[in-house]
Structure 1
Amino acid sequence: MRLKRMMLVLGMLAATVASADPSFWKHEWPDTDFSRSSVPHWGEVLSGGPPKDGIPALSDPQFIRVDQEGGIGPTEPVVTVEIAGAEPRAYPIRYLTWHEIVNDTVGGVPIAVTFCPLCNSAITFDRRAKGKTLTFGVSGKLRNSDMVMYDRETQSWWQQAIGEGIVGEMNGVTLTALPTWMESWAQFKERHPDGLVMAEPGYARRYGANPYASYDSSKRPFLYSGELPPHNIPALERVVRVGNQAWPMTRLADIGVVRESGVEISWQAGQASALDATTIARARDVGSIRVRDAQGRDVPHDVMFAFAFHAFWPDGEWMLAQ
């Protein structure tokens, strides 16, 4: 029995090593230039389960007025996009959980609204890079448990958490992150009663359900074998990342407002976790964050899990209680 178990484990390891090889991926990615990569070890890239486009990214989403939407719970999280010259838009996490990327154009700016559930990372990027306007899809691959995106124009791979090309023609290219944020549906509606909200996509999905129930209470992340965060910070504690600095969410929730390193970070109750209860609207309150500079302008940032910050910014600065 022990020998059979050992053979099974060895077989699984061999399969993992074999699949972590560009020659194995070429049948699925014939147009990707694997000779250009900044991934130190191919074994860092793992299959998350679904194949390429198995999680279908969205393009040209439809929108309705806030007062036309009656199915979203008041505490459910949305990604808020406010771009000069355009009406404010809310992209509900209830949809992004199942699609992870929305390609859109707002105020003449081509954007990709992205959400990696396994890292709780919600970042909006400008889709323009090296003179091209890119359209992003979900590769089905993970690195440090974070979504690997790809662009349909060059078939390059991109690391979502850092917005950087890691394989292919766009290797080493960094996307511009835009100052968007996650807040509750009620908070968005209160500020923008005449705003727009993304309409429910035409897919057969359990929108509003959380397929990662209790994930943010786990001890270890899914498909992650890297170092855990320092300072006894739980791997799946949320942190607010601005550049290479991270503020633990628990610290912000305790004091409400922090002014450090040239930014003001404010915390407000009322946003449900997207990764707690089986129904997002019934999940525990984790609060909403806004990050502004000294002039009151919104600043690009991310609210991600601590392990992901440590994985991609191993020399980053932890902004702990003074």
Structure 2
Amino acid sequence: MRRGLAGWLAVILLLSRSAALAEPPFWKTEWPNTDFSIRAVESWTEILSGGPGKDGIPALSDPVMVPVVQADLPDTAPVLTVALDGQPARAYPLRYMTWHEIVNDRIGGVPVTVTFCPLCNSAIAFDGRLNGQELTFGVTGKLRHSDMVMYDHQTESWWQQALGQGIVGEMTGQALTQLPSWLEGYSQFRKAHPDGLIMAEPTHARPYGRNPYERYDSSDRPFLYSGEMPPDGIAPLSRVVRVGDRAWPLARLAQAGRIEEAGVVLSWQAGQASALDAGEMAQGRDVGSVRVRDAQARDVVHDVMFAFAFHAFWPEGEWMTGAR
């Protein structure tokens, strides 16, 4: 993702063009069922085209799950783990999620939407139930603060992935319930859940295992982002562990191994490759795996995202840098 001057000029032109097109009359052609009269965004220019159109990045539904012992992935291949009470844990490899970004699944009768936004490194699982209705989701192809904008198939309202909140349309102001989930290496999942299930390779024609954002997490600036950068010299593409409106720098946690603060216990161990480093995803540098638990050792909802995204969506959030 390192660009010369010509590359950045192309990005600036794309930003300008996207902003010019960021008007409901244009979008209504593609989104005739979305109610653009209701919105939570201050300006339409906050939402940019990421390139693909509606469903250009195809979300998956009802994925094939196989016993983890049948999988053949590199030990450090990153997976998003979802473990609901009374159900075998499920692993969703980022080698597939990177190319689909959303998986609509059902775990023990519970509709679950699993999401991954590569540009923010945000991997979150949501309960698909809302006010007595079951929702499933697709990819709009739009970005806001470089984060994926999803849409629900039922009302075609737009949702901010990092927040799990409706931002345009009938569902504006509604919020999905985030489920406990965490990123870890495939070997770590296999050892912890020998009876677990893992998503099988989809049938789409995609170069699964390749990272289309090579070296992105060592870039100087985020892609298609013009917002304010994090404070105190925090690198915008450094990872942070977000719990509510607090963010712990991953580098701090990795150095300490364990941090107990603000009512939660954060732990780190090596064993997970960065999905956004090397061209072959499993060959990315080891960024380690994070767990967040409460005083009763129960998993706590969290996200490991880039610092710029935390600052964009929680501008008044607390940075847990350990500085006094």
The bucket for the TM-score relative to the shorter chain is over 0.9
What TM-score do you get using the length of structure 1 for normalisation? Answer: 0.95
Within the alignment, does 1:15 sit opposite 2:3 as a pair? no
* Matching residue of 1:255: 256
* Matching residue of 1:299: 300
Residues 9/223 of structure 1: CA separation in 2 closer, same or farther (3 Å cut) = closer
* Matching residue of 1:34: 36
Amino acid corresponding to residue 102 of structure 1 in structure 2:
V
Counterpart contact for 1:165–1:172, Cα < 8 Å: yes
- Post-superposition offset of 1:149: 0.2
Give the 3-state SS of the residue equivalent to 2:29 in structure 1: coil
Return the match for 2:48 from 31, 46, 49. 46
* 1:181-209 C-alpha deviation (Å, 9 max, x unpaired): 10000000011112111010001111111
Give the 3-state SS of the residue equivalent to 2:48 in structure 1: strand
Amino acid corresponding to residue 301 of structure 1 in structure 2:
H
- Post-superposition offset of 1:231: 1.3
Give the 3-state SS of the residue equivalent to 1:142 in structure 2: strand
Amino acid corresponding to residue 298 of structure 2 in structure 1:
R
What TM-score do you get using the length of structure 2 for normalisation? Answer: 0.95
* Matching residue of 1:275: 276
* 1:23-55 C-alpha deviation (Å, 9 max, x unpaired): 110000000000100011110100000000000
- Once residues 222 and 14 of structure 2 are traced to their aligned partners in structure 1, the CA distance between those partners, rounded to angstroms, is 19
* 1:154-181 C-alpha deviation (Å, 9 max, x unpaired): 0000000000000000000010000111
Give the 3-state SS of the residue equivalent to 1:308 in structure 2: helix
Amino acid corresponding to residue 98 of structure 2 in structure 1:
T
Q: Identical aligned pairs, as a percentage?
A: 66
* Cα RMSD after superposing both structures: 1.4
Return the match for 2:64 from 62, 65, 86. 62
* 1:126-151 C-alpha deviation (Å, 9 max, x unpaired): 01112210110000000000000000
Runs of 5+ consecutive residues of structure 1 not aligned to the other structure: 1-7
* Matching residue of 1:90: 91
- Post-superposition offset of 1:10: 10
Counterpart contact for 2:15–2:48, Cα < 8 Å: no
Amino acid corresponding to residue 82 of structure 1 in structure 2:
A
* Matching residue of 2:116: 115
Give the 3-state SS of the residue equivalent to 1:27 in structure 2: helix
* Matching residue of 2:200: 199
Counterpart contact for 1:81–1:90, Cα < 8 Å: yes
Counterpart contact for 2:19–2:48, Cα < 8 Å: no
Amino acid corresponding to residue 85 of structure 1 in structure 2:
G
Counterpart contact for 2:11–2:224, Cα < 8 Å: no
* Matching residue of 1:104: 105
Amino acid corresponding to residue 284 of structure 1 in structure 2:
R
**How many correspondences in the alignment?**
314
Within the alignment, does 1:185 sit opposite 2:186 as a pair? yes
* Matching residue of 1:5: none
- Once residues 17 and 197 of structure 1 are traced to their aligned partners in structure 2, the CA distance between those partners, rounded to angstroms, is 40
- Once residues 91 and 37 of structure 1 are traced to their aligned partners in structure 2, the CA distance between those partners, rounded to angstroms, is 32
* Matching residue of 2:227: 226
Amino acid corresponding to residue 307 of structure 2 in structure 1:
A
Counterpart contact for 1:273–1:286, Cα < 8 Å: yes
Amino acid corresponding to residue 68 of structure 2 in structure 1:
V
